[in-house]
Amino acid sequence: MKRKILASLLGITASLALVASSQGQGFVAFANYAPDVNAPVTFATSAAVGPAGNAVTAGMAVGSEFTAALLYSLDGGTTFNLLTQAQSGNAGYPASFLGVDGTVGNNGAGYFVPANPIVAIPGYTSGSIQFIVQAYHGASYAAAASDWRGQSPVLTLASIATGTTQPGDLVGLQAFTVAVPEPTVFALAGLGAAALMIVRRKK
């Protein structure tokens, strides 16, 4: 009888631990400008007509026509998940950049500092976590494959806030650029695909 009770208690404890871990959640402050973060996003190349219809030059800060999105990985950077507007307390995500292209430094161009920067990371309990920030013009980063877009290097944080701990910044986030794929890139991709088809037919 005692063994049955003990087994039941152990089973309940294991179940509770499983539920607690499945409902784990971490938090981080999503912004590329803070007291310990300064990672502006700029144009990689010059263009007569930029995303907002203005002339842009390499090194110019991107503006409000761009969107910033945060991706995270809980498996060491093997797979990344996109935090969407559905995340708790962040109805405004993805965040928009401040300023407008064509005016360097206008209202903090090149930076996104949301009114509510605290982002919930579902499934996080402890340990290191990887982040990537994407900047794109259009409906989404994937949809902007032929439009202006860019992505930060992977940022690894040893840990992030949980429970009532004050969320920290993305310390170590590096500045990055956005660019539009050149027509030659698409041409080369097309030639590569055609070459593969020819090789397959010969086989």
The model carries a pTM of 0.75
List the structure tokens of 66: 């761009």
Task: State the average pLDDT for the chain.
Answer: 77
Q: Phi, psi (5° rounding) for residue 197?
A: -65, -40
Other C-beta atoms within 10 Å of 54: how many? 16
CA quadruple 158, 160, 165, 168: dihedral positive or negative?
A: positive
Q: Is the pLDDT of residue 21 over 50?
A: no
In this structure, what DSSP letter does residue 62 have?
A: P
Question: CA 49, CA 112: separation in Å to the nearest integer?
Answer: 23
Those residues with Cβ within 8 angstroms of residue 146's Cβ, 6 or more apart along the chain or in another chain: 180, 181, 186
pLDDT digit string (tens) for 141-182? Answer: 888 888 999 999 999 999 999 999 999 999 999 999 999 876
CA quadruple 67, 73, 78, 79: dihedral positive or negative?
A: negative
Give the rounded distance of the alpha carbon of 111 from its chain centre: 14
List the structure tokens of 2: 């005692």
For residue 88, what pLDDT band results from cuts at 50, 70 and 90?
low
Return the pLDDT at 169. 96
Residue 104, CA distances (Å) to 5, 46, 100, 101, 156 in order: 70, 14, 8, 7, 30
Q: Which whole number is the average pLDDT over 65-80?
A: 94
Of 39, 73, 40, 54, nearest to 157 (Cα)?
Answer: 73
DSSP string, 132-187: EEEEESSS-TTTTTTSSEEEPPPEEES--EETTSPPPP-TTPPPEEEBPPPHHHHH
Find the DSSP H helices in the chain: 2-22, 183-202
